[in-house]
Amino acid sequence: MIDKKRIEKLVYELLEAIGENPSREGLKETPQRVAKMYEEIFSGINENPKDYIKVFKEPGQGNEIVLIKDIPFYSMCEHHLLPFFGHMNVAYIPKGGELIGLSKIIRIVNCFSKRLQVQERMTKEIADFLFLGLGTLGVAVFIEAEHLCMTMRGVKSVGNKTKTYALKGLLSSDPQKKEELYSLL
């Protein structure tokens, strides 16, 4: 669990350390606000998606690809504690007609993004969870994101997007399924 009281104390100190006055009007409630916000944006840290994801059987379902496009996400870069955010496309091939609810896909995305992350690792973690954790026949995850640590500091490459992807199972090994996936995208 997130220790909100401790975060409040540390944010107060952080404000002092950067040369601010934590007691001035505008900053008075900032430590509490940040602690509350961290609870929300880091809610995935202590979550295991396995605990709440269930698949449901749809007898008519064959091994057609299910693609969920343009899922928005927000995450935090673990190197700079700054946001990176964008969209991802998630595709999977159900096994034996077992579908994952669409809202569950969003929950999986949130679970892995609301943590301190690296885009490459997050891509792989989501793909691995959908493939190994939920036993699907194939998975593809494509992520396109803007990193504030690249655009507001350092090299300041504004508008720069980082793309990552991970392919698993049939969506990696079966040329026909791969072709289907790319025509859907």
Tell me how far apart the alpha carbons of residues 77 and 75 are, in angstroms, rounded to a whole number: 7
43, two tokens: 């809610």
80 binds Zn ion (CB under 5 A): yes
Choose the stretch contacting Zn ion; rule: CB under 5 A; options: 49-57, 69-77, 92-100, 135-143.
Answer: 69-77
Nearer to Zn ion, 147 or 168 (CB): 147
The correct pick among 10, 67, 116, 149 for binding Zn ion (CB under 5 A) is 149
Q: Most distant CA pair in the chain: distance in Å?
A: 64
If DSSP codes are grouped into helix, strand and coil, which group holds residue 31? Answer: helix
The correct pick among 5, 33, 69, 79 for binding Zn ion (CB under 5 A) is 79
Choose the stretch contacting Zn ion; rule: CB under 5 A; options: 18-26, 126-134, 144-152, 164-172.
Answer: 144-152
Active-site choice (64, 79, 120, 179)? 79
Helix, strand, coil content of the chain in percent (nearest 5):
40, 25, 30
* Contact residues for Zn ion, defined by CB under 5 A: 77, 79-80, 149
